[in-house]
Structure formats: structure tokens, C-alpha cells
Amino acid sequence: MALLQIQEPGGKPARPKHRLAVGIDLGTTNSLVSARCGLKVESLPDETGECLLPSIVHYADGGQVYVGKRAKAMALVDPANTIVSAKRMLGKSLSELRTLDHYMPYEFDATRDDTAPSIMTRAGSKDPISVSAEILKVLKARAEETLNGRLEGAVITVPAYFNDAQRQQTKDAAEEAGLNVLRLLNEPTAAAVAYGLDTADQGNIVVFDLGGGTFDVSVLSLTRGVFEVLATGGDTNLGGDDFDRLFAEWLKHQAGADGLSEGEIMQCANEIKHRLSEEEAVEFTLASQAMTVTREQFAALTSEPLERAMRICRRSLRDAKLTNEEIDNIVLVGGSTRMPAVRVAVAEFFGREPLTSIDPDKVVAVGAGIQADVLIGNKSENDFLLLDVTPLSLGIETMGELVEKIIPRNTTIPVSRAQEFTTFKDGQTAMALHVMQGERESVADCRSLARFTLRGIPAMVAGAAKIRVTFQVDADGLLSVSAEETLTGAKAEIQVKPSYGLEADTIKSMLQESQEHAREDMELRSLREAKVDAIQLIDAIAGAVVADPELLEEGEEARINEAVAKLIAVLDEGSSAQLTKLTQSLNEVSGDFAARRMDAHIGRALQGERIDGV
């Protein structure tokens, strides 16, 4: 809530205090910090004038920790104690890290749980959170020295497809670094903030963000200062590192570089890649062998990751319900978009040249800095509303092992949605809640996020209790779920923090499978819902017969039992149509008995009451 400044009549207006807040782009390869300097937000340089800080941490002898260029220089000579691409490790289990096609010359701590991987260094066991914190500490110190003051807050960017675990660990790293996180902001959205405010553009924008280790694409609508994300897509294991790896494999095969380490070949591949962004062909020597490689060769050798990126673009446009012709501009973000092959592929896919006037390395940090300046309370000449979206649907398990979606995918966040549920059995005093993530109809085909139990429900007949379940996703994409019984106020809640991350490949397959199995999923839902209705009716009638046998007429119980037997016979093998038909028949057969029971219970309830009182 903003505080209003009160001023006495005739007094001079007090100059508002400028509060210090920064935007931080915590990148896989490089990181940056930005802040408002005068009239605009700029990336802050170090003492040598460099804005980019290599996201590398080296643990040296004597307990010293080096971050940035000095650490990068140690990556070849002491790789076991030099951590690179820590961002790729956030939110992942050790077993998941081992499946990554990513060079990791580390010894992992065998004493740590699989869901909390940690690397053994000479400084002790270091997890991805503490490594990321070291990078953030350097950026924080740089900002406080440049701005000559103590920071009050920071907006930190994350890939749009980071899940809850990855976002939470980013927050944990910031807290360890002594930063107050104002908000986690999706990287493509941060780029859109910087781009939209700089040019006052309106229309549909695609932000194509290809960094060193992650890829994101977001489709945004920019209208009169409102930034709305229509759809997002991405892969947390796709980036410039993958181009380096494929090119390094080719170099090794061509030169027979058996005497060189994996790190040396990767570094050589990276340097040649950078030169090819400026030159048509590069001559170099590797393992005493003179070689030449052209841009065309490089593009052919690294076509696979680029094709993956284009497939994600196609799917994101489909999610946004837009065609290529409806896209007004494409913004390139991330150092890897400097590759000519990437720019050509993007231009061919969208049918127009992408915008290249914005520094792709700095645009995300600048956007985060603009957002930080607004959130900390400094007056901004450009007021804007920022809307983000959930990448996957969130819901809850219902009877029949079905998933009831409460927040559909691509819903604008922050968001709060509630839905009422009820009890299944008479006298039920507790309800187990199972939070799910995914697009399929069956629990077995979705991802389990959390389980918790609501207790203290009044013992009533099935269907009488009202349980209000609320899903709330905050601006950082973190999910909180609460359940409240409306009569007594009994409440239970949980914040979802999965113990390990969800791979982008898994997300992609979840979306693809939901489309491929849409028809059979709907048939499955129809069948299971019919089965739940049938079981509920059978149980209710069985309880009614035991409770009020005197209300049954002659021959009525036999007719009801016959209808129940027919329904039970098809419970396991019958179709939804059969179950629905026989459930309806049972309803009709037992309808008169149910009406007599209702009359009797109402009569007993009203006995001795005056009609005007009723």
C-alpha cells in the first residue's frame, strides 16, 4: 500500500526521497545489475567498465571466493572447484542433473539427498543456491558502490518456464546474498518492459530470448501501457551452450584433439562461435592443425537446437491464438541471438526482420530495473501494468481420480481462484486434498505437487458440507492452496514448493500428450464421473434402506435391489452411457421411497413448530 504525503497549505512541496532498488538479470552465462541513473535505467559497470559479470564462481585456496572473469580463467586449470552454469542446476535433483547433456566436471556430495544436490569443493559442499548467492553478492556490492547507498530492494529475472522449485531457490539465493526481493520477473517480460517503454510501441510482440543455458519465447500484447503475456514457451536446457557442445564435438572429430581437455575444446568452440558473428569465415589452429570454418558450416552443424527453438515458437503462437501475420515485432534477447544463423531463422519463421537495435545482453536487466524503480515507490513518468501467465494448469484431485482444473494454463498472474467442493460420504469429518499440475484429465497423467488434509468438518450427510478451495499464484509464480469449511471456518493451507524441478522436455510432452489424447481423456472423464455418481447413489440408497425400512412399500425393496444389482454389474466394465442409463433407472425406481423419506424427515423436524414461526 502506498503512503500519502501530507503537506500543510502554503508549504513548499517536499522532495520525495529516492529509494535505491535494482534489477538483476541472473543469467546462466553472464549476469548484470541495473538501476535508475538520472532520467533512465542503465546497466551498472564494474571498476573496469564491464557490465557483464560471468556467472562463474571459483573456490580458491585459503577460503577465497572469486566471481566473474577471474573465476572464468580458473575454469580450465581447476574445473572441479570452479562452478559454471549454476542456474541450470537450480531446482533439479541429482539424478536429473546427471541426465543433462551438459559438461559438469564435478564431484557431487554423496551424503546429500538426491533432491538436494551439492558439489564438493575445497571450500566444502556447495549447492546451486549458495553458488548463485555468491554471484548476487558481487552484483549487490557493485550497485551499492555505484549508487553510494544501501539497496532497499531488487527485482530478479528468471526464465518464464522456471517452476516453483527453481523460483523458490532463486529467492533463497537472493536472501542468502542479503537482497530484499521485490519480485521475480520473467525474463521475456522484463525485455518487453524495456522495449515497450522505450519505443511506446503497441501491438503483438514476440520476445525471443536465447541465452547461454535457457530459451524462452513469450507472446505479448502491448496496449496503452499494459503488458499482457498471451502465451509462454521455453526450454530450461536449451541455449548457447548447446551450440558450443555440438560444434566442439565436430572440432574434436576433425582435429583428433585427444590431448586437449573437454573444457579447452569447449572454450575454443565458444571463441570461434563469437568470431563467426562478426566474420564470414574463421581460420584457427587446434591440436597443431590449421582449420577453417564458415558461418554456413557452423549453421549446419548446430541446426538441431535452432529447430527445437522454432518448434517452441510455433507452439507458443498457437497457444496465443495468433498467426505469424498478426505479430507486429520480434525482440531478440540474450547473447546467443547475436549468431547470424539465429537471426536468419527467426526472420524466416516470422516473415519479417527482428529488431536488433536493443543490446540483447542488457535489455532484460534494464526491464527489471524499470520494474524495481516502480515497485520500490519512486515516481515514474511511465505508469504501466504488467500481467504474466501460468505456463501449466493447476487443479485438484476429485473422486474417480480425476483432475478438476482451477487455474487453467496461460491464466494471467497474480491470480486467485476459488471453487466449492463437498463431502462424498455421510459423516465425513476430514478431506484429503491433492494438488495437481498438468493438462490431462486423469491424476495418473498429471504431476503431483502437494497433499494436505482439512480436518474439523462437521459430521453431515454426504454433499451437505461446503469446502471452499482457493488457489493463489503470486507475482513470482509461487502457488498457495487453502481449503476452508464455510460453516465452522476450519481451515488448512499449504505453499507448494516441489522438492525438485520439472524438466522443460516433460512440460513439452505433457502439452503434446494432452492434445493427442484429448478425445479419450474426455471419454475417460465421462466414464469416471458416471461411475462416481453411480457409487454415490448406491451408497445413499443402502443407507436409506437401513435407516427407514418402515417407509418401503410392498415389493419396492425387491425392485430397488434389482436395479442396484444391474448397476453394480456394469460398474467395472460398462460404458458411461450404460452407467448413466442404469443410474437414471435406479433413481426412478427409488424416487417414491426418497420422497416419502423427505416428507417424514421434514415432518419430524417441524413437529411442534408454529406455521408462522416456520
Beta carbons of 70 and 93 less than 8 angstroms apart:
no
Catalytic residue (one of 72, 87, 92, 531): 87
Q: What distance, in Å, lies between the first and last C-alpha atoms of the chain?
A: 48
Residue at grid coordinates 559497470: 45
Rounded to whole angstroms, the Cα distance separating 184 from 258 reads: 44
Residue at grid coordinates 535452432: 306
3 state SS of 395 = strand
Catalytic residue (one of 96, 109, 164, 209): 209
For residue 549, give the DSSP letter. G
Give the other-Cβ count within 10 Å of 272's Cβ: 21
**Nearest alpha carbon to residue 372 among 13, 108, 19, 11:** 19
Tell me which H or E stretch contains 206: strand 203-210
Q: Where are the alpha helices (DSSP H) in 256-337?
A: 262-276, 295-301, 303-319
For residue 108, give the DSSP letter. B
Reading the block at residue 165, the C-alpha cell is 522449485
Chain CA centroid to CA 30, Å: 22
Residue at grid coordinates 538426491: 114
398-427 b/e (C-beta count within 10 Å ≥ 16 → b): bebebbebbbebbbebebebeeebebeeee
Amino acid, res. 557: E
Give the CA distances from residue 309 to residues 177, 180, 232, 560, in Å, rounded to whole numbers and listed in that order: 33, 34, 13, 61
- Is residue 40 annotated as part of the catalytic site, yes or no? no
Percentage helix, strand, coil, to 5, in the chain?
40, 25, 35
Catalytic residue (one of 187, 216, 485, 503): 187
- Is residue 405 annotated as part of the catalytic site, yes or no? no
Beta carbons of 54 and 68 less than 8 angstroms apart:
yes
What's the Rg (C-alpha) of the chain?
Answer: 30
Give the CA distances from residue 354 to residues 13, 207, 357, in Å, rounded to whole numbers and listed in that order: 46, 10, 9
**Nearest alpha carbon to residue 442 among 514, 360, 390, 536:** 514
Catalytic residue (one of 25, 46, 361, 484): 25
Q: What is the biggest distance separating any 2 CA atoms in the chain, rounded to whole angstroms?
A: 107
**Residues sharing a CB contact under 8 Å with residue 25, sequence separation 6 or more, in sequence order:** 31, 32, 33, 34, 157, 187, 190, 364, 365, 368
Beta carbons of 183 and 205 less than 8 angstroms apart:
no
Give the other-Cβ count within 10 Å of 207's Cβ: 29
- Is residue 46 annotated as part of the catalytic site, yes or no? no
Question: What DSSP letter does each residue of 136-177 carry, written as one string?
Answer: HHHHHHHHHHHHTS---EEEEEE-TT--HHHHHHHHHHHHHT
Catalytic residues: 25, 87, 187, 209
